[in-house]
Structure 1
């Protein structure tokens, strides 16, 4: 079944702790502060990928946690920055912050990215100041993914008109087919392969009169063929 909405938890990495260290030799018995700064925590990034077509994977993988930055060390050495986490989604996915319901980005272009949680800044080592500091915490959010399907072909019609049968015959989709209306209750996505190209075809559930004004679930389904 085609899943067009998902909710995920993202937590960026904390910044690494700044180091407390002193360099000593026979000329510097009291020591010279030389503790390095902590490394930056991992960002959580969402990126559009034209090779993906659904959000189905996010029904099973909903938590994404970034690594923390490395601790600073002696001799002014900065801690290692943590690698960013990149979450790939289909083109046309709208990214929302669940806490504010605000749109962070509409990822309509292949490769387009948005940082949804920023990693914490690394702490300061004692070569800058007397007392080193801890790194900043990474951001944590609940993110809503809303896929506004950009299908190449959409099959629209009244209930029990044979839309699902057609989709099953020409694509890799396997919709439920039965001899009664409203068998399809959510959009079904199929990928059809012709001699020259691959294209996406959507089976939109049967519409009732007045669907464009919001009757039934028409407004939810019609967004796929806007």
Structure 2
């Protein structure tokens, strides 16, 4: 049995739920309650010394880091998440990294909580999130060609990174009106069952 150690609102876990859904996989969800601090428990730290989710137990291995796991799933389940040509792969990785390595880390809950606490009340959680998610998505918008997907004519790793980030953007009331290409892609992806089924509202929590 494939086991996903995740948290329902975790963007990184959300990415894997989408990918596994696209692969038609069945898995068992094991909740790691980030709000309760379960990520720092001895049991979870033994799975991931970084104290992060997700951790995916699959094919006799235990994997961490969602983007590297996405590439593993792509290679072993033939999902087509990365183009075959080098330039295409670079473009998709650049889009994916723009979210997963630029927006996501600074908006990680522990980072945002630290910033709010250290500011002595000058920074609010919502203000922090809006300050980074909005400009980050605006840059992502400028990187897009304007089709139905982030790159090419099908789902790639970039689409899988975009959707969880949009969930967070809406949660923190980031204005998406100036982002027509992103909103168009979002509408198209919402029609794909694997994306809809992976939504946090449907995840165990």
Q: Same fold (TM over 0.5)?
A: no
Q: Which has the higher strand share?
A: 1
Give TM-score scaled by structure 1 length: 0.20
Give TM-score scaled by structure 2 length: 0.21
Q: Which has the higher helix share?
A: 2
